Amino acid sequence: MVQRTRRCRVAALLLTAALTVAACGDDAPAPAKNQPRPPTSTKAFDGTTLQPGEVVHVDNLDGARLHQVRDGVVRSFETSVEVTEFGTATQLGSGDAAYRADGNAGLLVFSMTTERNERETPLEGDVVAAVSVDDTQRELPDFSSTEADGEQTSYAVAVPKDRTAVTLDLKYSGAVQSFDLLDGKPTGERPDALYRADRGTVVYQEGLTPSQYDVEVGGQTYTNEITVGRAELGYFPLRGHEMPSSDDKAWLSMWVGQDAKGTTCAAPLSAYRFTDADGTAYQPTQSASEVPEPSLLDTPVAVIAFEVPADLAKGTLTIGAPQVTCQVSTSTYTPVPAHGTATIDVTLPAS
């Protein structure tokens, strides 16, 4: 009787254990030890979210993964930009001065220096610097007014992950020069004249040796002295808007003054010719030249331009014509006989 009672108690205990296991579920995982808990709150982003294609000037590059650029020079009219580094970032800076891109876009970051060489006679308009993301273009903020020579400035642009092209473009008078911000190197056509100089966008010679020819006014012979204040070779013309006919051509432009010491004269454009060291002769281009009329108030200065090879090193300017226009009385200017040819040698630096 006692044994039967013990067997019943054991069976009851086993049944109770089985019911307990069934209630908990046979496949329930045991709780892991030291398992991290999910965050209960996320700190809000207090900075600026950029839309795809939007570009901003930035001072803080914390968070950017940058690469140095070996050849980052891009040039336009009187303007040289050198990209010094480029890279990417998920977020730049911190707090309310931070930047990030909207959605699945990312930030592309680059730094550059700018150098300008002011010229007396700029063409109309300013050089425009813009970032182009595929078909979307945005100008660099305050590029024309606030960039100081030699000062490094940095920019961030929001770019979608599926972008195919991102470039920094300098645009002026129909000419575009570009730097690939994905590959980190210049891209597209690069006119030889723009990149001939080590610094700046032109090569030039000043203080050329004067020459002369004679003119006859009112029965008197005057020596008409010809001076060239500057001979400059560059891609953009000093007058007009005509670009050279190809990337291996350039404009050779000269400031030419004439002083007959008692009268003032001006030779027609057809009186000018330039011959290079190999004997090739060039006629001036009217659309890139300007010959003013003689003046009572000052010595007129003509701008004479020739389209020449971009690697031109030496040559000779000649001025000679059977007749030139001179002042013959207080307000009268007429063609008068001219004799001789003025000859001025030009030597341009290699770079």
Q: Are residues 242 and 311 in the same domain?
A: yes
Q: Are residues 140 and 208 in the same domain?
A: no
Look at strands 99-101 and 48-50 and give their pairing.
parallel
Predicted confidence (pLDDT) per residue in 10-40, tens digit: 334 333 433 343 344 444 444 444 555 554 4
274 vs 307: CA distance, rounded Å: 10
Q: Are residues 184 and 207 in the same domain?
A: no
**Number of domain units in the chain:** 2
Q: Are residues 210 and 260 in the same domain?
A: yes
Domain end call among 189, 213, 247: 189
Predicted confidence (pLDDT) per residue in 224-273, tens digit: 999 999 999 999 998 888 899 999 999 999 999 998 888 889 999 999 99
pTM of the predicted protein model: 0.82
- Residue 117: inside a domain, yes or no? yes
Domain end call among 189, 211, 243: 189
Q: Residue 246 in 3-state DSSP?
A: coil
288 vs 301: CA distance, rounded Å: 14
Six-digit token string for 341: 């040819």
Predicted confidence (pLDDT) per residue in 276-333, tens digit: 999 999 999 999 999 988 776 667 799 999 999 999 999 999 999 999 999 888 778 8
Q: Are residues 143 and 226 in the same domain?
A: no
Q: Are residues 168 and 295 in the same domain?
A: no
Domain coverage including residue 257: 203-347
Q: Are residues 166 and 93 in the same domain?
A: yes
Q: Residue 63 in 3-state DSSP?
A: coil
11 vs 9: CA distance, rounded Å: 5
**Quick one: how far is CA 55 from the chain centroid?**
17
Q: Are residues 120 and 247 in the same domain?
A: no
Domain end call among 158, 189, 220: 189
Q: Read off the CATH number of the domain in which 297 is found.
A: 2.60.40
Q: Kindly report the CA angle at 73 between 72 and 74, in degrees rounded to 5?
A: 120
Q: Are residues 209 and 147 in the same domain?
A: no
- Residue 27: inside a domain, yes or no? no
- Residue 8: inside a domain, yes or no? no
Q: Are residues 236 and 170 in the same domain?
A: no
Q: Residue 23 in 3-state DSSP?
A: helix
**DSSP code of residue 142:** T
- Residue 9: inside a domain, yes or no? no
Q: Are residues 223 and 270 in the same domain?
A: yes
**Is residue 210 a contact partner of residue 327, using CB atoms and an 8 Å limit?**
no
**pLDDT at residue 186 tops 50:** yes
Q: Are residues 248 and 296 in the same domain?
A: yes
Q: Which residues contact 64 (CB under 8 A, 6 or more apart)?
A: 87, 88, 89, 92, 107, 109
Q: What is the pLDDT of residue 241?
A: 85
Q: What is the pLDDT of residue 149?
A: 67
**pLDDT at residue 7 tops 60:** no
- Which conformational region is residue 207 in: left (phi greater than 0), alpha (psi within -120 to 50 degrees), or beta? left
Calculated CA dihedral for residues 259, 260, 262, 266, nearest 10 degrees: -80
